[in-house]
């Protein structure tokens, strides 16, 4: 049974809005880090989240910016590339998940899209004992900078084969990563995986990656 709960996560003096999908029996929980100019209502991430839920994974879709920040960002784009802020927010969200009685003992994964992938990897570097796996969809891992050296969570980078500029950025980022990392290109897919069936392939790859690495993780408290 899937139960969708609206949540508010405190970050400093602010609150972030999210949607937490709980399952009766879950193998882990995946926190989504959205890309530039996006949020928890992203149809692509919602589609991936539903697929993960159908395969036994709980999900948290959450905005990394407050309502006021999102409104300002639409005008100025001042927040969407503030990776330090986004990663700090994501770490606070991960800590909040870990402290919850209903999901905190499960393995935790991060799914980052676009710039959110950079923030996800920075958060994984900050919480190496907590994050069990990371998946990037059309992401910018290069934006994580020197944090890439400290990422030990197994990381899957998924890029469309037609998104050549981002493919090269991912290839360069891989060279800086010391932990387990794999790059998978989806044939015929562009940056947003809008072509028929391509987002389904992303969902399948992500689900398999999380399931495999969650299975080898000892859940906290068990």
Closest CA to 173 of 202, 201, 142: 142
Q: What are phi and psi of 119, to 5 degrees?
A: -65, -40
10-residue stretch averages of pLDDT, the chain, 222 residues long: 90 93 95 82 91 97 91 84 94 97 94 95 98 97 97 98 97 96 98 96 98 78 37
**Model-level pTM greater than 0.75?**
yes
pLDDT on residue 73: 85
**Residue written as token pair 């992203």:** 42
Please tell me the predicted confidence (pLDDT) of residue 2.
81
Q: How confident is the model at residue 37, as a pLDDT?
A: 67
CATH fold, domain 2-215, is Rossmann fold (3.40.50)
Tokens of 70: 């999102």
Confidence (pLDDT) at 222:
37
What pLDDT is attached to residue 220? Answer: 42
Quote the CA–CA distance of 48 and 201 in Å, as a whole number: 10
Q: What does the alpha-carbon distance between residue 85 and residue 81 come to, in Å, rounded to a whole number?
A: 9
Spatial separation of the C-alpha atoms in residues 210 and 214, rounded to whole Å: 6
């Amino acid at each position: 049974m899937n139960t969708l709960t609206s949540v508010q996560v405190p970050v400093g003096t602010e609150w972030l809005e999210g949607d937490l999908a709980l399952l009766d029996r879950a193998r882990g929980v995946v926190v989504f880090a959205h890309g530039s100019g996006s949020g928890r209502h992203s149809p692509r991430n919602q589609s991936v989240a539903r697929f993960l839920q159908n395969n036994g994974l709980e999900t948290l879709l959450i905005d990394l910016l407050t309502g006021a920040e999102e409104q300002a960002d639409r005008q100025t784009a001042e927040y969407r590339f503030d990776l330090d802020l986004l990663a700090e927010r994501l770490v606070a969200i991960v800590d909040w998940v870990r402290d919850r009685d209903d999901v905190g003992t499960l393995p935790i994964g991060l799914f980052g899209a676009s710039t959110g992938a950079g923030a996800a990897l920075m958060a994984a570097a900050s919480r190496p004992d907590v994050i069990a796996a990371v998946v990037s969809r059309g992401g910018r891992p290069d934006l994580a900078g020197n944090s890439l050296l400290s990422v030990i969570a197994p990381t899957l980078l998924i890029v469309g084969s037609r998104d050549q500029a981002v493919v090269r950025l991912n290839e360069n980022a891989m060279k800086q990563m010391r932990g387990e990392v794999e790059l998978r290109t989806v044939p015929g897919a562009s940056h947003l995986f809008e072509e028929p069936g391509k987002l389904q392939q992303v969902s399948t790859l992500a689900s398999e990656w999380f399931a495999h690495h969650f299975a080898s993780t000892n859940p906290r408290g068990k």
